[in-house]
Amino acid sequence: MTSILDDEQRLLRACVSLTQQIDRGSAVLSSPLAEAFLNVPRHPFVPVFYRREGGRFIPWRITDGDAEAWLDAVYTDDSLITEVDGVHAEQAGTGGVIGVPTSSSTAPSLMADMLDALDVNEGDEVYEAGAGSGYNAAMLCHLAGDKHVTTVDRSDTLTALARERLNGLGFDPLVLHGDGARDVPADARYDRIIATASVRRIPSSWLERCRVGGILVIPIKGTLAGGMIARLTKLPDGTAAGRILHTPAAFMPLRTATEAERQVPEITDGPCRDAGLSGRALDDWTFSFFAELHMPHGLLRTYGRNDVGLHVTTLYDPADGSAVRVEDMPEGAPLVTTAGPRDLWRLVEEAHRRWRQLNRPRREWFSIESTPARQTVTYTAPDGQVHRWTTM
pLDDT tens digits along 88-138: 999 999 899 999 898 899 999 999 999 999 999 999 999 999 999 999 999
Question: Which amino acid is present at 207?
Answer: L
> Does 362 have pLDDT greater than 50?
yes
Please report, for the chain, the start and end positions of each structural domain, with discontinuous segments joined by +. 4-91+102-244, 272-357
Is the domain spanning 4-91+102-244 CATH 1.10.10.10? The answer is no
Are the C-beta atoms of residues 245 and 229 closer than 8 Å to each other? Answer: yes
Q: Give me the phi and psi of 160, to 5 degrees please.
A: -65, -45
**pLDDT 10s digits, 308-328:** 899 999 999 999 999 999 999
Say which residue, 256 or 11, is predicted with more confidence.
Answer: 11
Looking at residue 255, its pLDDT comes to 73
Are the C-beta atoms of residues 29 and 20 closer than 8 Å to each other? Answer: no
Give me the DSSP letters along 15-31: HHHHHHHHHHTT----H
Looking at residue 262, its pLDDT comes to 74
Q: Give me the phi and psi of 16, to 5 degrees please.
A: -65, -45
**pLDDT 10s digits, 275-295:** 999 999 999 999 999 999 999
Are the C-beta atoms of residues 311 and 280 closer than 8 Å to each other? Answer: yes
Are the C-beta atoms of residues 139 and 166 closer than 8 Å to each other? Answer: no
Helices and strands in the chain, H and E counts? 9, 20
> Does 365 have pLDDT greater than 70?
yes
Compute how many other C-beta atoms are within 10 angstroms of the C-beta atom of residue 34.
Answer: 15
**pLDDT 10s digits, 201-230:** 999 999 999 999 999 999 998 888 778 999
pTM beyond 0.85: yes
